[in-house]
């Protein structure tokens, strides 16, 4: 049994009575507890960050970069150990966890070069003898509330960018896998970050509410499900904060008759079932254009599913680990039952697949539905598990209309060899991140991440240039110097 406590002002702190259970998803057993920060503990963290802000915001960008470089070096060296913490608590395979840590390190890399983007702009002679310049100033204490599915990557989307801009930070990781964030902040302390600049508080709604309504918090970044994202965004802005809240997804992939179907099937299996489908950029709907495409894809995907090895994420050769909790397992299972009741054809039912030595673990194999209709709940709602739905459509325009009418707009993809169709898709699709023969089009660290519609509550993306806009305030100065000192000239 282990205990996960809060990290405030550079120290691990336990002040709260309430604890939540942590589970080993492989065995299904309780493996530890996480301490829930109440309003008093949240206040301590925010005050530590507020106090640290006065000196950190005055630290030169060059000095901040030096610490971030050292942090990047430590993260590189510790990548596998961080990934192991993720695999043990979250369940995903070690190689999936390593890949996600690398995605986070990429953002730290980008943050190391931020001085250039923070230098502002200057215009001389905007009037006679008048010059104007603008600068980006930090906001103060910023908060990051993160989901369970990427316990290193998503916190790393947030705090390195925020502190590179001169802010201080409080992270509230998912209460389901909180240990990784602790390692991330221990390492940044080791890299030389002054105490109080980044703090971690743990908990659930109680902790989140205390953070997003706290009078000294200036900005809130949130990633999680849409209902909570909407609530956090609304509450934070009504308390005067700047807020960006990223929500759920139902990502569609269109497969055109001219596509390379072997390549598309390979891509769909990875995009649908990697990380057991617990990815906001996972493909969960295939829009097969024409029955012939649908029939062929189903055969190919079915064959590939039969080869996916399920088991503990630490074991070599395992391709799919368990789901995060029993509760989540039950939710995914209930959607599979619902799909059958709604009249979809369950081509592969993986819902009861468990490795033989781990019957109590939260394992589930890959499932595949055919003949899914847009009116069905399994089409409309986010399942967030290893379930792929095939919707048969007669043509490209029907596929495009379905995507555009869906309430979510995080990611989408098309497989085709036709440049005109690909271009029309890119131009007309109402989705934030688009792949053309690329199934999971997550932008790299120097671009920015962000969906549309109910996948985002804000008008600003995460990491890349968008983060600089989010974590700074623009100040524009117009200056004129009067004559009068000529006697010294």
Catalytic (active-site) positions: 280
CA distance 118 to 453: 30
Assess 236 for contact with ligand NAD (CB under 6 A). Answer: no
Q: Where are the alpha helices (DSSP H) in 369-463?
A: 377-380, 396-405, 419-428
Residue 78, token pair as written in the block = 């510790």
In the complex, least distance from residue 153 CB atom to ligand NAD, rounded to whole angstroms: 9
Assess 410 for contact with ligand NAD (CB under 6 A). Answer: yes
Q: Which of 149, 168, 284, 416 binds ligand NAD (CB under 6 A)?
A: 149
Strand 408-409 relative to strand 345-348: parallel, antiparallel, unpaired? unpaired
Strand positions, DSSP E, 394-470 = 408-409, 411-415, 433-436, 452-453, 456-457
CA distance 117 to 414: 34
CA distance 243 to 237: 6
Select 278 or 370, whichever has its Cβ closest to ligand NAD: 278
CA distance 89 to 161: 26
Strand positions, DSSP E, 233-322 = 242-246, 251-255, 283-289
Residues in 204-233 at the binding interface with ligand NAD, rule: CB under 6 A: 204-205, 208, 223-225, 228, 231
Assess 175 for contact with ligand NAD (CB under 6 A). Answer: yes
Select 265 or 387, whichever has its Cβ closest to ligand NAD: 387
Residue 318: strand, helix, or coil:
coil
- Give, as one character, the DSSP assignment of residue 449: B
CA distance 171 to 202: 8
In the complex, least distance from residue 311 CB atom to ligand NAD, rounded to whole angstroms: 23
User: Considering only 139-147, 159-167, 258-266, 312-320, which stretch makes contact with ligand NAD by CB under 6 A?
Assistant: 139-147
Assess 248 for contact with ligand NAD (CB under 6 A). Answer: yes
In the complex, least distance from residue 335 CB atom to ligand NAD, rounded to whole angstroms: 13
Select 48 or 249, whichever has its Cβ closest to ligand NAD: 249
User: Considering only 91-99, 191-199, 247-255, 393-401, which stretch makes contact with ligand NAD by CB under 6 A?
Assistant: 247-255
Select 165 or 324, whichever has its Cβ closest to ligand NAD: 324
- Give, as one character, the DSSP assignment of residue 351: T
Number of residues that bind ligand NAD (CB under 6 A): 27
Assess 466 for contact with ligand NAD (CB under 6 A). Answer: no
3-state secondary structure 121-159: EEEEEEECCEEEEEEEEECCEEEEECCCCCCCHHHHHHH
Residues in 63-102 at the binding interface with ligand NAD, rule: CB under 6 A: none
Assess 41 for contact with ligand NAD (CB under 6 A). Answer: no
Q: Which of 7, 71, 384, 396 binds ligand NAD (CB under 6 A)?
A: 384
Residues that bind ligand NAD (CB under 6 A): 145-150, 172, 174-175, 204-205, 208, 223-225, 228, 231, 246-249, 280, 382, 384, 410, 451, 455
């Amino acid at each position: 049994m282990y205990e996960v406590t809060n990290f405030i002002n550079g120290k691990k702190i336990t002040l709260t009575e309430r604890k939540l259970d942590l589970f080993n998803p492989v065995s299904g057993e309780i493996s530890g507890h996480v301490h829930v920060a109440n309003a008093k503990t949240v206040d301590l963290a925010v005050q530590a960050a507020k106090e640290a802000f006065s000196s950190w915001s005055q630290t030169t960008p060059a000095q901040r970069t030096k610490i971030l470089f050292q942090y990047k070096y430590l993260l590189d060296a510790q990548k596998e150990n961080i990934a192991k913490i993720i695999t043990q608590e979250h369940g995903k395979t070690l190689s999936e966890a390593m890949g996600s840590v690398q995605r986070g390190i990429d953002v730290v890399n980008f943050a190391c070069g931020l001085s250039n983007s923070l230098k502002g702009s200057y215009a001389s002679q905007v009037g006679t003898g008048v010059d104007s310049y603008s600068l980006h100033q930090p906001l103060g204490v910023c908060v990051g509330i993160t989901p369970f599915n990427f316990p290193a990557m998503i916190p790393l989307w947030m705090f390195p960018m925020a502190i590179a801009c001169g802010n201080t930070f409080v992270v509230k990781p998912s209460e389901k896998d909180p240990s990784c964030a602790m390692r991330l902040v221990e390492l940044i302390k080791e890299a030389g970050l002054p105490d109080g600049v980044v703090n971690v508080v743990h908990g659930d709604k109680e902790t989140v509410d205390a953070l997003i309504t706290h009078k000294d918090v200036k900005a809130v970044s949130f990633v999680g499900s849409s209902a909570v994202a909407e609530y956090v965004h609304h509450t934070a802005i009504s308390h005067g904060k700047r807020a960006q809240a990223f929500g759920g997804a139902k990502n569609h992939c269109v497969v055109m008759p001219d596509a390379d179907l072997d390549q598309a099937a390979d891509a769909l299996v990875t995009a649908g079932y990697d990380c057991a489908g617990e990815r906001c950029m996972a493909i969960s709907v295939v829009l097969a254009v024409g029955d012939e495409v649908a029939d062929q894809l189903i055969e190919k995907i079915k064959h590939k599913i039969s080869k996916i090895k399920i088991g503990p994420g630490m074991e070599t050769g395992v391709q799919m680990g368990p789901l995060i909790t029993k509760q989540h397992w039950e939710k995914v299972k209930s959607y599979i039952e619902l799909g059958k009741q709604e009249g979809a054809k369950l081509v592969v039912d993986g819902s009861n697949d468990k490795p033989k030595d781990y019957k109590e673990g939260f394992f589930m194999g890959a499932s595949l539905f055919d003949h899914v209709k847009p009116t069905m709940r399994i089409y409309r709602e986010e399942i967030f598990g290893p379930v792929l739905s095939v919707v048969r459509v007669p043509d490209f325009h029907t596929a495009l209309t379905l995507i555009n009418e869906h309430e979510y707009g995080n990611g989408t993809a098309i497989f085709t060899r036709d440049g005109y169709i690909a271009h029309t898709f890119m131009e007309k699709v109402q989705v934030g991140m688009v792949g053309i023969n690329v199934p999971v089009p997550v932008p790299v660290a120097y671009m920015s991440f962000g969906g549309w519609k109910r996948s985002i509550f804000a008008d600003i993306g995460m990491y890349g240039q968008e983060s600089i806009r989010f974590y700074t305030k623009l100040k524009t100065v117009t200056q004129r110097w009067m004559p009068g000192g000529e006697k010294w000239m």
